[in-house]
C-alpha cells in the first residue's frame, strides 16, 4: 500500500471478519477435514491426538455462530473504497474485524502470536 503511493496509486485494504458464506459452511468444512484426517499417517494423527477432529468441528461451529450474515458490510466497504472522493486506507467489515483483528494488526507480532 505504501510502496504504490509515489506512483499515484492509492490502495485500500478491506479486512473482513467472519461472514456466513459457503466458505465456512460447517458440514462441508468438517467433511473435508475428516477426509484429510483419514489420509494422514497414523503417527501424525497420534501427534495431534485422536480428539483433534472433534475439537476442530466444535471450533468451526463456534466460528459459524459468531459470523455475520450481513454481507452488505463488505460490499459497502468496497463501494466506498472505489467510489469515494477520499477513500480510507483500511476498512474493517464486521464487528469481529473491528474489535479483534484490526487492533491486533497494530500490535507487535510477538503479542499477536501470543494472543
According to the model, what pLDDT value does residue 46 have? 94
Please state the pTM of the whole predicted model: 0.64
* Per-residue pLDDT tens digits of the chain, which is 115 residues long: 788 888 988 888 888 888 888 777 888 888 999 999 999 999 999 999 989 999 988 888 887 887 888 888 889 999 999 999 999 888 988 888 888 877 888 888 888 888 7
The angle that helices 26-39 and 52-66 make with each other, rounded to 10 degrees, is 160
Alpha helices in the chain, H assignment, sequence order: 26-39, 42-48, 52-66, 72-83, 95-96, 102-105, 109-114
The strand pairing partners of 15, in sequence order, are: 92
Amino acid at each position: 500500500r505504501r510502496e504504490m503511493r509515489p506512483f499515484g496509486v492509492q490502495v485500500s485494504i478491506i479486512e473482513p471478519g467472519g461472514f456466513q458464506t459457503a466458505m465456512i459452511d460447517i458440514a462441508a468444512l468438517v467433511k473435508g477435514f475428516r477426509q484429510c484426517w483419514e489420509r494422514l499417517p497414523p503417527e501424525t494423527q497420534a501427534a495431534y491426538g485422536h480428539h483433534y477432529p472433534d475439537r476442530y468441528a466444535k471450533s468451526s461451529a463456534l466460528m459459524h455462530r459468531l459470523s455475520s450474515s450481513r454481507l452488505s458490510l463488505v460490499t459497502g466497504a468496497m463501494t466506498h473504497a472505489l467510489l469515494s472522493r477520499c477513500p480510507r486506507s483500511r476498512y474493517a467489515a464486521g464487528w469481529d474485524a473491528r474489535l479483534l483483528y484490526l487492533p491486533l494488526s497494530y500490535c507487535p507480532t510477538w503479542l499477536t502470536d501470543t494472543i
